[in-house]
Structure 1
Amino acid sequence: MRSPRPWISWCTAVSTGALMLAVPTTAEAGPAPAVTEAAHAVEVHVPRSATAPGYTVSVAKDDLRITTSRAGRTVLRGSGGDTGTLRFAAGGTWQHATKVTGWSWREGTLRITAATTAPGTTAELRLTPDADRYALAWDVRGATAERLGLTYDLGSAGHWYGHGETATPQGGPGVDQPWPLERGTVRDKAFGPASYAMIDPFWYTSSAVGLWVDTGEVMDVGLNDGGDGLGRFVVQHGGTYRATVFVEDTPLEVYRDYVGIVGKPAKSDSTYRQFSEPLWNSWAQFYTKVDQAKLLDYAEKLRANGEPGHTIQLDDKWESHYGNLTFDAKTFPDPKAMSDRIHDLGFDFGVWVTLWVNLDSANYQYAVDHGYLLADRADPAKPCRVTWWNGEAGIIDLANPAAKSWYENNLRQLMAKYRIDGFKFDTRFFDDRCAPSGGKQRSDYQRLGAEMADQFDLQGAGIRVHWTPEAHRSGMTIRQEDKGTGWNSVKASVTQNLAISTVGYPFVETDMIGGSLSDPPPSKEVLIRWAQSAALMPLMYSSTSPVDTWDVTTGKHVVYDQETIDRYRAAVKTHQRLAPYLWDQVQSTLKTGDPIMRPLFFDFPEDQRTYTVDDEWMLGPAVLAAPQLTAGTSRDVVLPRGLWFDVTKKRIVGGGTTLTGYATPLGVTPAFVNLLAPGADKALRALST
């Protein structure tokens, strides 16, 4: 993040052919911005400095289209014509700003008033420039607006990234995550702090601009919705729309600007061992058809077949009723003995938990009687009831200190009684059908959830908190939404990690290796390729056993062959050998905030080929991963500039080239070490074995 430079005073000057307003230059502030009025636009000019590229923002007089340029080249342009850059809904009808009716430059802010398509209604825009960004705020005067939005021409900025997990017509985020975003279609009408999806209101582009919408409200976001080539960023309120546009030389610098606002991890929630070995969770293996005998058999077979792992985690359907936090005695007759045996095998033991308390549980009425549940938004005198995949429930109100303490004490008693080492927290901490309490906002519940969960070992299963600085700074591992079990999900697991890690959550993992979503078990090839891919990511999150599993669609037992066991184990061993290198990257991230798993163009922004590569990534500065993510046995590999060691073929390869038809039989996972990068020695030792 570059240091902000406040513009502290202003004066007027005359420039040939235009009126110019400028701020006096000071040694501390650096070059000052200037405002000019030409025939068709009002423009803000921010000169290049030693630490920032300089840019111009042009506001068209006829339709208030906002265009950002750097070094004479457009890097972001608002929509014009009937769409309009500044859009609002009033009386259920969409309107937009049109002709500029007045402007002024005062105390470092450009203020523009404009007519709109709604009679008697005006829009006021306030644009405040800084060295590497500008703040943008606008609102409607003369009418009550219900929604406000910015609309951009996606193509003007090149390729688009960010957002986090995407809702798409092709099944995202479960089986689809477009990369870059404009190559697919994204439409999320409930894009907000209460979403289950891992999302942040931040987008960045290949032209090295970024957009951050500063809101705690729900948004309606569309990117190339219906193939229109537009980015629509609508806030579902009618107050003041606040956003920041970053202007930099590279996408990585834009990312760093954003992290400079929301914060970087203060620590790593996951331990060295959790970065080194996989977590084994029961969900995709058994779904809700789990019991004590099955879980112990699962653990015994993993250990007998030499599959490393730090934890056996019991997922959904261990409770007598959801929210009771007590084991079902029919399916788990002796949970303490089960826990002891899992520990004897060398694993930690964990369980799945949620803040959602079903109406048929004993704890529900207790929570109602003590006022521990979120209230209903429509009728705050009643507890909020939400329908989810396991029935109807209330939600523990974390903003109520007594409710929070009660829930945490229940967890601690569970840990003490059954020798439980940690938890997988699932579902959301808030629902939009409920009312925040104590003056809190939706986003506050993300903070409260992060603070509550941070007291417990999440065992590498991670959590899904977002949108707030506390979520960024917590250093928690982030897991993806459930994936399917086919090749499309293997691919989506990669691009989704890239999306999550580059909106400020660097400790990422895919959904359970092999997928879930109540699909038939993954094929041998999908399971192996997914494990090989995950081995070159920060953490490994496993469920489907390479020994055997259950087909939830038929109820039949599925047995994999010895090659599956061996290939899966080999992938885990690779990840284990990478642990010293990975742990170095964790420490680096704690200092810089930079993601560990990142797109090639973060490291090689000058290579235009890298901006559309969706099946390779950098793991720290030294490792380029290019695993096979489809059913084929060969692939092309884009190698940026540099001197690379080809791990598979034990050769040195010059960069700036594409290796076409690179052979990838089932035992080969293409990976390359940048010999000139920090950490190359540890990466070579790990991958050359």
Structure 2
Amino acid sequence: MEQREISIKLLADEHWWGGRVSDGLHMPYAAEHGFQASLGGDLLANQACPLLLSNQGRYVWSEEPFDFSIQDRVLHVKNDSGAEIYCSDRHADLRGAYLAASKNHFPSSGEMPERLLFTAPQYNLWIELLYSPTQEKVLQYARDVLEHGMPAGVIMIDDNWHEPYGTWEFHSGRFPDPRGMVDELHRMGFKVMLWVCPFVSPDSLTFRQLEPTGLLLKDHSGQTAIRKWWNGYSAVLDCTHPGAVDWIHRKLRELQVRYGIDGFKFDAGDPNFYEESDRSAVPNHPNGHCEAWAKVGLPYALNEFRACWKLAGTPLVQRLKDKKHSWEGDGLGALIPDALAQGLLGYSFVCPDMIGGGEYIQFTSVANNLDAELFVRYAQCSALFPMMQFSAAPWRVLDREHLGYCVEAANLHAKLGPEIVEIAEHSARTGEPMVRHLAYEFSGQGYESISDQFLLGSRLMAAPILNKGQRSRIVFIPPGEWSGDDGAIIAGPAIIEIEVPLSRLPWYRRVD
């Protein structure tokens, strides 16, 4: 097909963000560092958007996936789809470029997710229960939350609560009275979400019923596609088919009506589970199938996604991909850079990964030797995100001191909850990110390389500790007057050094 390609010479001190959220550690892309990525096919298990943004007020957009690289002070962008690549400039700065791109290509829907997701911690049972959730274990986890002084919030029952994949009915042995369980959770103050995915077990009655209807994805030969994923081999719903979308909505609404389920965690949908040669009701590429699955979640105020293509500006909760129980690499150190990337790609309703790390293979390998300090710093870093999510029970894996620090972080988030909701409402109205890079809000200050601080809205700033054993840090105070968590009043712009014992999460509020 026709190839579109552009080359943009970088300006002095120009930095770029965008593409894949999981490349956050590499952002901003600058002339001194070569970088290349392809947005077609493998999105590295997280969100992506066909958007690049510059601190010099320029942006690049295409409706289809593209490849890009920065080499020799030139940004190269190309695709093979025939879709036009837009380059727009004269928007003054990073914020101006983002707002122009948002207005032109992904204007906000004006809607936001369920408020409880912002006002209290979420409790996802994946790491704690893995593939063995039961009714009693779910209820006991919820009781323990309250017993240890943590706020009731959304509780998410993860994989294997159900009969074979695609059946979407509670397993009668593990959940003998699901309605009674949900009613009890509601009485305790929780709302309840269930994990779902687009897969259908091929040896199930559901598969035999669906296959003749044409609602399942077909491979290049026209046969029902069977794909390997992290828990076996399954058929895949063809979410470009209106009938398939209607079918999954009927299943989910039945769960809401029969059992009082409040919402759903929509997992999988990654482009690498699809192939270019697949046959679907509406011809599509792998990224498009990822987008089609994400659209299934739009009618549900209580939702969560990990993989997503486009759909910026919509009221979908976008969780960072499963992180490791580690300080560096794809662990705690990636939370802020990836969240900054999410915000700049239009995914405003950001949820960090599960506190302590949600990458279960690595987590379980160190389960008997967890780093309590790391667990606390994970909780503190998450507390000023739009959302925070526990899984591994801190009361089980931590001693009293470290547990206390996690409870403090959870209660700080709940205390700020009404203000966080106001920031979410502003984002829904304007399309502006909730989690903001300092360079987004304060252009011309040289903040482009700061990736260990972030703004929540325009007036709250977090400066957590991200390194083991660290008890002090440098904080960049932007222009304005700021009140610190320690009571200090600081006039910016300034650079200060502060003491940060394990009990402290440094955060600041702009007061002028």
The normalised TM-score by structure 1 is 0.68
Q: Which residue is 1:234 aligned to?
A: 78
Structure 2 counterpart of 1:474, one-letter code: T
Residue 366 in structure 1 maps to residue 209 in structure 2: yes
The answer on whether the counterparts of 2:110 and 2:429 sit within 8 Å (CA) in structure 1 is: no
Provide the aligned length of Structure 1 versus Structure 2.
Answer: 499
Match of 2:392 among 544, 564, 570: 544
Q: Give the counterpart of 1:316 among 148, 159, 163.
A: 159
SS of the residue corresponding to residue 293 of structure 2 reads helix
1:303–1:155 Cα change, 3 Å: same
Q: Distance in 1 between matches of 2:412 and 2:240?
A: 44
Matched, 1:480 2:320: yes
- The residue that corresponds to 1:416 in the other structure is 257
Taking structure 1 as reference, are residues 181 and 526 closer, same or farther at Cα in structure 2, changes over 3 Å only? farther
Range 323-332 or range 570-579, more displaced:
323-332
Distance 1:222 1:284 in 2: 37
1:157 Cα deviation (Å)? 5.7
Q: Deviations over 1:383-427 (max 9, x none)?
A: 222211111122212232222222211222223333322110111
Q: Which amino acid aligns with 1:202?
A: L
Q: Deviations over 1:605-628 (max 9, x none)?
A: 0211x1111111111121121111
Q: 2:114 aligned to 271, 287, 292, which one?
A: 271
Query: What is the distance in 1 between the residues matched to 2:111 and 2:406?
Result: 26
Structure 1 pair 484–429 and aligned structure 2 pair: CA distance change class (3 A): closer
Structure 1 residues 286 and 188 mapped into 2: Cα distance closer, same or farther (>3 Å)?
farther
Asked whether 1:533 is paired with 2:369, we answer no
CA distance in 1, matches of 2:37, 2:129: 31
Would you say 1:673 and 2:509 are equivalent positions?
Answer: yes
Tell me which structure has the larger Cα radius of gyration: 1
Q: 2:343 aligns to what?
A: 501
Contact 2:319 2:353 in 1 (8 A): yes
Task: Work out the CA distance in 2 between the residues paired with 1:153 and 1:524.
Answer: 47
Determine helix, strand or coil for the equivalent of 1:290: coil
Q: Does 1:657 align with 2:486?
A: no
1:598 aligns with 2:441: no
What is the distance in 2 between the residues matched to 1:196 and 1:365? 30
Query: Which residue does the alignment assign to 2:57?
Result: 208
The structure-2 alpha-carbon separation of the partners of 1:192 and 1:201, relative to structure 1 and needing over 3 Å to count, comes to farther
Residue segments in structure 1 that go unaligned for 5+ positions in a row: 1-143, 168-175, 549-558, 677-689
Q: Which one is further off, 153-162 or 356-365?
A: 153-162
Please give the secondary structure, in 1, of the residue aligned with 2:474: strand
**1:4-43 matched pairs, under 5 angstroms:** none
SS, match of residue 476 in structure 2: strand
Higher strand share: 1
The alignment partner of 2:89 has SS state of strand
Tell me, yes or no, if structure 1 residue 326 matches structure 2 residue 143.
no
Counterpart secondary structure, 1:397: coil
Counterpart for residue 577 of structure 1: 415
Q: Which amino acid in 2 is paired with 1:481?
A: K
Give the superposition deviation at 1:185.
6.7
1 CA distance for matches of 2:205 and 2:421?
44
For residues 601-651 of structure 1, what are the alpha-carbon distances to aligned partners after superposition, in whole Å with 9 as ceiling and x for unaligned?
A: 12210211x111111111112112111111111110011222121221x12
Distance 1:264 1:527, change over 3 A: farther
Corresponding position of 2:46: 197
CA distance in 1 between partners of 2:372 and 2:42 (Å): 38
**CA displacement at 1:432 relative to structure 2:** 2.8
The alignment partner of 2:240 has SS state of coil
Secondary structure of the corresponding residue to residue 640 of structure 1: strand
User: What's 1:390 paired with?
Assistant: 231
Match of 1:166, SS state, is helix
Task: Give 2:476's aligned residue.
Answer: 638
Higher helix share: 2
| Per-residue CA distance 1:58-94 (angstroms, 9 max, x = gap) | xxxxxxxxxxxxxxxxxxxxxxxxxxxxxxxxxxxxx
**Is 1:191–1:221's contact at 8 Å kept on the other side of the alignment?**
no
Distance 1:539 1:439 in 2: 36
Of the candidates 275, 280, 291, which is equivalent to residue 436 of structure 1? 280
Note if contact 1:599-1:617 (Cα within 8 Å) is conserved in structure 2.
yes
CA contact (8 A) 1:281 1:543 kept: yes
- Taking a change above 3 Å as real, the CA distance of residues 666 and 298 of structure 1, as seen in their structure-2 partners, is same
Change in 2 beyond 3 A, CA 1:297/1:416: same
Structure 2: distance between partners of 1:161 and 1:448: 25
CA contact (8 A) 1:422 1:456 kept: yes
Match of 1:220 in 2: 67
- Compared with structure 1, are the counterparts of its residues 295 and 223 closer, same or farther at alpha carbon in structure 2 (3 Å cutoff)? farther
Does structure 2 conserve the Cα–Cα contact (< 8 Å) formed by 1:264 and 1:504? no
Q: Decide whether aligned partners of structure 1 residues 178 and 492 sit closer, same or farther in structure 2, where only a CA change above 3 A counts.
A: same
Q: Is the 8 A contact 1:219 1:233 kept in 2?
A: yes
Contact 1:166–1:188 (CA<8 Å) still a contact in 2?
no
Return the match for 2:29 from 171, 175, 181: 181
Q: More relative contact order in 1 or in 2 (CA 8 Å, sep 6+)?
A: 2
1:517-532 equivalences in 2 (<5 Å): 517-518=359-360, 519=362, 520-521=366-367, 522-532=370-380
Residue 190 (structure 2) pairs with residue 347 (structure 1): yes
Taking only the aligned residue pairs, the percentage that are identical comes to 25
- Cα separation, 2, equivalents of 1:279 and 1:329: 26
Cα distance between partner residues in 2 of 1:208 and 1:473: 20
Q: Which amino acid aligns with 1:505?
A: Y
Runs (4+) of structure 1 exceeding 6 A deviation are none
Paired residue secondary structure (1:563)? helix
SS of the residue corresponding to residue 418 of structure 2 reads helix
